Amino acid sequence: MMEQLDKMPADLSKIDASVVVFDDHFAINSSTRCQHRCVYCFEGERDGYREIPTNDVIELLKQAATKVKAVVLMGAEATLRSDFAEIVAAGTALGLEMRLSTNALRFSDKQFLEASIDAGLKKIELSFPYADVEVYKAITGAKETGFQMLLQALDNIRLDGRMRCNVNVVVKQF
């Protein structure tokens, strides 16, 4: 069954028949890859990975552009795609505001951050599971270098200043 689904072309035609009122955006889960193994997450595949082919993602963007103002690229971790900037640029060319839900580790690389913003990335929703390194490692399954990369990514995003950034954190106690 899954093999059949993987071979089906992207199709949003059911949106027209839907009674759902759309917000301003549409989300695309384009990959099952992620550097983390967060205890609360169902997105990251543990064995192997699958990605929606680039052409199919672009077709989804074309269809979404007729329905919404923005697209949120999700993953598990969409920035691990080798065609990430190409997809962002394609959505931008269609007039979409391109957004991202991310762990932001790839943005620790300033060149990757700049290429993403130059391609048209406007806003990210950054997952920062916990501000303590040991708890972060326990929640994400990451090494300490992952925590340091996230801190560097936050600095890079702040210093660049061209992209809006929402940070999601885990609240331990009110």
| 3-class SS string, the chain | CHHHHHHCCCCCCHHHHCCCCCCCEEEEECECCCCCCCCCCCCCCCCCCCECCHHHHHHHHHHHHCCCCEEEEECCCHHHCCCHHHHHHHHHHCCCEEEEEECCHHHHCHHHHHHHHHHCEEEEEEEECCCCHHHHHHHHCCCHHHHHHHHHHHHHHHHHCCCEEEEEECCCCC
State the 10-residue block means of pLDDT for the chain, 174 residues long: 45 42 76 74 62 91 93 89 97 97 94 98 90 83 86 96 90 64
Q: What pLDDT is attached to residue 43?
A: 57
Q: What pLDDT is attached to residue 124?
A: 96
Q: What pLDDT is attached to residue 47?
A: 63
Q: What pLDDT is attached to residue 46?
A: 59
Kindly report the pTM of this predicted structure. 0.81
Q: What pLDDT is attached to residue 27?
A: 87
Q: Return the CATH fold of 22-165.
A: TIM Barrel (3.20.20)
Q: What pLDDT is attached to residue 136?
A: 79
Q: What pLDDT is attached to residue 125?
A: 93
